[in-house]
Amino acid sequence: MNPETLAHALLAVLTPLADERRPGEPLGLTAADLVFERPRNRDHGDWASNIAMRLAKQFGTNPRELAQQIADGLAAVDGVASAEVAGPGFINIRLDAAAAGALAKTIVDAGAAYGTNDSQQGVTVNLEFVSANPTGPLHIAHTRWAALGDSIVRLLLASGAHAVREYYINDAGAQMERFASSVLAAAKGEPTPEGGYPGEYVTTLAQRVLAAHPDLLDLPDDEQLVVARDQAYEYQLAEIKHSLDRFNVPFDVWFSERTLHEKDASGTSLIDQAVDRLREQGHVFDLDGAVWVRTTDFGDDKDRVIRRSNGEYTYFAADAAYYLNKGDRGFQNKIYLLGADHHGYVHRLKAVAGAAGEDPEKNIQVLIGQMVSINGARLSKRAGNIIEMDDLLDWLGTDALRYSLERSPADSPLDLDPELLQKRTNDNPVFYVQYAHARTHNVARNAGDSGVERSEFAPETLTHESEAALLGALQEFPRIVAFAAEVREPHRVARYLEELAGLYHRWYDNCRVIPQGDDPIESVHRTRLWLNDAAGQVFRNGLDLLGVSAPERM
């Protein structure tokens, strides 16, 4: 019996009570309105409800009296072992072993689909994250958003949303020209120009460009810059994609900023069109030869110039065009994941949404993450002034790095301990969870060798208190997934998995799947194998939502 089934049973109990006390007045509740919580003390039962306290005034009675009537009705429901009143009117509900244990088979039968839900059904989400300039390697500041962004999309997809991961390639503007000048200078053996990009990686890029274009230095100066820029850009973007692949972060869309500036057959760009569209909304005005957007109408601290008096567009113009383009591609909701130094973008982006005629509080969400530091991490030898993502992956591994970045809220600064993340002990959270999963496979292998298989399922035999606690946690997984998707917080899944691992290990210590000695194989052993395999499935499903592997042996 799951919370949804229990909610329908509670509704069936409440409806006649409402008819009795308020004839002719509808109850006005659905099963979806009836929420149950897990008691902190499992001795109090499997589920608890405060519905009597919510409805007592409406029913014209005191909470405890109404709670007792509800408890009496629930106690008669098949699958409910008892329902008791506690405190000012809480109802503690205990399921019988068969009703609770049936969940194990449900999970095994559902497989990878267990935990998926439809809480985000019909929602379209474009989530843009990382979006590092293609002028250098990814570094430590990008790792956190890469992990979190990917996991948020996984949660949204698991909850029924249509969601895509998008990388905005900043391949237009002054930084690309500085990048081209830096590569070209390295190709000529000259010092890095002022404001350029230093580092061995630039020299390596220059050598690759020369190998692909041996006549580079024989070209006119302006052509040299174009070739150096475009070829080095192609190589550097390929390196970024490779680093993200290693980090298990796929992107569905790679959006080039250049496309916003390109002219169509009519001679207009997406940026030109964006200005016209914002003007149609009534939020654009002209002043001192420049074109402005009245973003203060939407909480911005000042109005923004979108086109300067010299006719050049500002970065704000590209932001506006990009936002509108996302809507044109069918994305009602846009999420931006930005670094700790991007607080100034929040009001600006929300103002764009408002000026475009959308709801800044609904259609756009800007998440600001805090910095992450790793004790002992060394600056990149190639780049010289940053800690590269690839170096971190070589040092700590994808699983340890991803899990540790995802198990804390995004707005909390992180200082990771590399020694801990490399330990194969229960002090290391990712090892603790992965080991629990590997143990489920070890139990299953040993059970098979001993002749214990899932040929029988007798959930009424799962009566040990550690089994009730483990089943209760497994029951929670779909709710955890749905809530984590709603609030965009993957750390809730990680913390859940750690709690589940503790409950699984306690069950393992107390309940045998394989009989002792020459004892016969009984129904309880076969049923416990179902429960073991159900726990393994939830570990796999949860780790997959975090982009972390679930090893079968450790």
CATH number for position 263: 3.40.50.620
Q: 205-241 burial, b for 16+ CB within 10 Å, e for fewer?
A: bbebbbeebeebeeeeeeebbebbbebbbebbbebbb
Does residue 524 form part of some domain? yes
Distance CA 77, CA 83 (A): 10
Decide: 482 and 489 in contact? Cβ < 8 Å. no
The CA-CA-CA angle for residues 166, 485, 118, to 5°, reads 105
Question: Can you give the pLDDT of all 554 residues of the chain as single tens digits?
Answer: 788 889 999 999 999 999 988 888 888 899 889 989 888 777 788 899 999 999 999 999 999 999 999 999 999 999 999 999 999 999 999 999 999 999 999 999 999 999 999 999 999 999 999 999 999 999 998 999 999 999 999 999 999 999 999 999 999 999 999 999 999 999 999 999 999 999 999 999 999 999 999 999 999 999 999 999 999 999 999 999 999 999 999 999 999 999 999 999 999 999 999 999 999 999 999 999 999 999 999 988 899 999 999 999 999 999 999 999 999 999 999 999 998 878 888 988 999 999 999 999 999 999 998 889 998 898 887 887 899 999 999 999 999 999 999 999 999 999 999 999 999 999 999 999 999 999 999 999 999 999 999 999 999 999 999 999 999 999 999 999 999 999 999 999 999 999 999 999 999 999 999 999 999 999 999 999 999 999 999 999 999 999 999 999 99
Residue 84 pairs in a beta bridge with 92
Per-residue DSSP letter, 43: G
Distance CA 464, CA 536 (A): 19
Q: Are residues 179 and 273 in the same domain?
A: no
Q: Are residues 143 and 44 in the same domain?
A: no
Decide: 545 and 122 in contact? Cβ < 8 Å. no
**Which of 246, 268, 303 represents a domain boundary (last residue)?**
246
Q: Are residues 432 and 541 in the same domain?
A: yes
The CA-CA-CA angle for residues 342, 344, 345, to 5°, reads 70
Q: Are residues 140 and 284 in the same domain?
A: yes
**Which of 224, 246, 268 represents a domain boundary (last residue)?**
246
Q: Which CATH number goes with the domain that contains 462? A: 1.10.730.10
The total number of structural domains in the chain stands at 4
Residue 419: count other Cβ atoms within 10 Å of its Cβ: 10
The residue segments making up the domain with residue 222 are 174-246
Q: Are residues 281 and 202 in the same domain?
A: no
For 368-388, the DSSP string reads EPPPEEETTPPPPTTTSSS-B
Decide: 225 and 176 in contact? Cβ < 8 Å. no
Q: Is the pTM of this model over 0.85?
A: yes
